[in-house]
Amino acid sequence: SLNLTFFFFFPIYIKMQLNQGCDEFTDLSFSHSFIGTSVRVRLLLYTSEGGTCGSLVSHTDPSAHPRFNFSRPTTFLIHGYRPTGSPPKWLSNITKLLLAGTHTNLIIVDWNYGAANVNYLIAARNTHAVAENLTAFVERLEKGLSLSSIHMIGVSLGAHISGFVGANMNGSIGRITALDPAGPLFTGTLPKDRLDPSDAQFVDVLHTDIDALGFRGPLGHIDFYPNGGTDQPGCPNNIFSGLSYFKCDHQRSVYLYMDSISRVCDSRAYPCQSYQDFLNGLCSSCERFGDAGCPVFGYYVTQWKDVLLKLNQTNVYFTTNSASPFCTAQYTVDVTVWNKAVRWGYLTVKLYSADQEAVATIDHTAFTFKRFTETRLLAQFDKDIKSVEKMSLKFSTGSVLQPKYKLRVLRVRLTPLEREERPLCRYDIVAAEDREVTFRPLPCEDSNF
């Protein structure tokens, strides 16, 4: 029985011993924020060998740490404002994902002392002190590794901290990724007082809350605006939802980025003058990016780095679902009608395979359908159906008082934007208002109309 007891408890004992050596992100309470905190920077190193066990790195002698490997790339993850003092909810997930994806020295920059303050102005001012601290550390790293192998991922205020460090290092850091860079106190400032493209060899930026907590204008070589950069699907749209109303759009940037690391699916993003033009189907051209096509959002966008640097600055748009997997599937839907009178309205399109259904509701504006004139719509389906067996259309005007109309469709053509496939068509169908009409699409015939 003694042997059995040993067999049962020994692994638990070992795990306890290992965990004793783990350093955790600082966990503060709201009382700390209320009193206010002054800057203290802790650098927590994670490696694939150490798993989720972090350990403090010396600011003055990083080489003394047995797990810090100078032959590997180094990733810094820098959080933003922490009004409640608690660790970010997403921290452990993104740590696991970054470690699983690459062999890297992952350094979580814990500046919770300094970020935890009910007064945002003080936290924003503290970004400069954090950047000075990090700069001194990076200068020591420079003796043993190439600065181009450093990737800084900054969230909100952390994005500007990354920029300050990059500027201090004369833009020689390899890459800065900014996840919804903070807007308040940084909007309208000079480039030296915020993140800008000269801060690293490559700067990619994600904007998810440009109408509140995030920065509206472009700050990088490529700036991604999912859902136009404002209201993110699934986030509350009224103040009665409490704190979530204020932070959901802002935090969505981290969750979108985590999806891109795990590569559950890819979100291709399209260059455009505005989000409205993108929704109107005016921006499906990817020619400027060469054979690789339009950039895929997120962690792996470095594949497009060379062409993006030549283009100087590019704004791109894409849409997402309300939860992971966030990627949508892009199609153009071209509709030609033979109604004598002009019709205005919206379309809902569904695609079916043997075991899946995908939906695209195209209702951001009322479209005009004129006789023998092709109307192009951008349909963004909530999932990608590889083999479409059936398709349905529903036409609606959104009007309660007017009589119900019919849309007499001469031809509907469905073309995937992200795959080289022959379009699918259906000819001569009638869509009664608010009634779904289902049909089997066929490969399109070449015709003149």
Residue 400 has φ and ψ, to the nearest 5°, of -90, -35
Q: Which residues are annotated as a binding site?
A: 194, 196, 199
DSSP 83-117: TT-PPPTTHHHHHHHHHHH---EEEEEEEHHHH--
Q: Are the beta carbons of 416 and 443 closer than 8 angstroms?
A: no
Measure the N-to-C terminal CA separation of the chain; round to a whole number of Å.
85
- Active-site residue, from 223, 250, 260, 267: 250
Active site annotation includes 231? no
Identify the residue whose tokens are 């007499």.
408
Rounded to the nearest angstrom, the gap between the alpha carbon of residue 58 and the centroid of all alpha carbons in its chain is 32
Q: Are the beta carbons of 78 and 162 closer than 8 angstroms?
A: yes
Question: Rounded to whole angstroms, how far apart are CA atoms 286 and 294?
Answer: 5
Question: Rounded to whole angstroms, how far apart are CA atoms 318 and 227?
Answer: 6
Active site annotation includes 180? yes
66-73: long-range contacts (C-beta < 8 A, 24 or more apart)? 67/105, 68/105, 69/103, 69/105, 70/144, 70/145, 71/145, 72/103, 72/104, 72/105, 72/149, 73/102, 73/104, 73/105, 73/149, 73/150, 73/151, 73/174
Q: Are the beta carbons of 326 and 320 closer than 8 angstroms?
A: yes
**Burial class of residue 238 (count of CB atoms within 10 Å of its CB; 0-12, 13-18, 19+):** exposed
| Tokens representing residue 171 in the block | 């833009």
Residue 180: left (phi > 0), alpha (psi -120 to 50), or beta? left
- Nearest Cα residue to 39 out of 160, 124, 165: 124
Amino acid at 11: P
Active site annotation includes 363? no
Residue 442 bridge partners (DSSP) = 425
3-class SS of residue 5: helix
Whether residue 325 has a cis bond before it, omega within 30° of 0: yes
Q: Which residues are annotated as a binding site for Ca(2+)?
A: 194, 196, 199
- Active-site residue, from 156, 162, 260, 267: 156
Identify the residue whose tokens are 């020295």.
105
Hey, which residues are catalytic here? 156, 180, 250
